[in-house]
Amino acid sequence: MEFIQNEKPTVEKPIIIAAMQDMGNVGSIVINFINKSLKTKSFRTAKVSFPTYVIDNGGHVDLPNESWEYKYTDDLIIFGGGNGQPQNNNELNLLCQDVIDVAKEYSAKFIYTLGGFHTNRILKNNPKTYITTTSIELKKQMERLGVDMTPQKSLITGFNGLILGFAKKHDIQGIGMYGELNQPEIPQYRAAISIIKTIEKLTYRKLGDIEELEILAREIEQKFKN
């Protein structure tokens, strides 16, 4: 991995929201929404040093643009979004460690991550967001807020799970939020909306108007209904 520092933001004790593309594109939808809505500014970029695949456009190939940005505004640092995740464990671990290093540099209070939660439950356009945390004490705090906790023991793979392990290892409080979805192969805007509302509830701040996401959700639902 290659890390490029563009500037040093003036933030103190921020909340970090970090997530990458996953099933249903939930991580990217939420991160991209926050960046657009809050007009965040880039200050650091993470790039894959050596690509592990090429994109065949039908007769000619392109190299993938595997890079992800750190952005900031007020008391928030936002990381990730975009397309894909690192293709090997070494780069994934380096990326998680870099997020932790940034968290320590700015004395971050919390790391939030998010993604999809595949379920067979019929959602009827109203998915839940399930929460897991880095400690039993934090779990009890979340339960007192009346949120839905992850219902059973499971493995959370990829960046949107592993970053919680890195946070726990380095004594940084972390919360993972995972929106229900039935079809992981298509963009899940309803799951993203559910997560955005949950972040707003936990952080006591408005992230933006979700009407555009509502429109995209209806378009996807109509398309696959037909």
> Looking at residue 169, which CATH number applies to its domain?
3.40.50.10900
Work out how many domains the chain is built from and give that number: 1
Residues of the chain scoring pLDDT < 50: none
Q: What is the pLDDT of residue 222?
A: 87
Burial of 171: CB neighbours in 10 Å, binned 0-12, 13-18, 19+: exposed
Q: What is the pLDDT of residue 226?
A: 56
Which residues, other chains included, contact 188 with Cβ-Cβ below 8 Å and sequence gap of 6+?
23, 24, 25, 26, 29, 116, 127, 179, 181
Which pTM does this prediction carry?
0.92
Q: What is the pLDDT of residue 186?
A: 92
| Tokens (6 digits) for 16 | 């970090």
Give me the phi and psi of 223, to 5 degrees please. Answer: -60, -45
| Tokens (6 digits) for 167 | 């946070």
Q: What is the pLDDT of residue 85?
A: 86
Q: What is the pLDDT of residue 53?
A: 79
C-beta of residue 92 within 8 angstroms of C-beta of residue 67: no
* Residue range(s) defining the domain that contains residue 16: 2-225
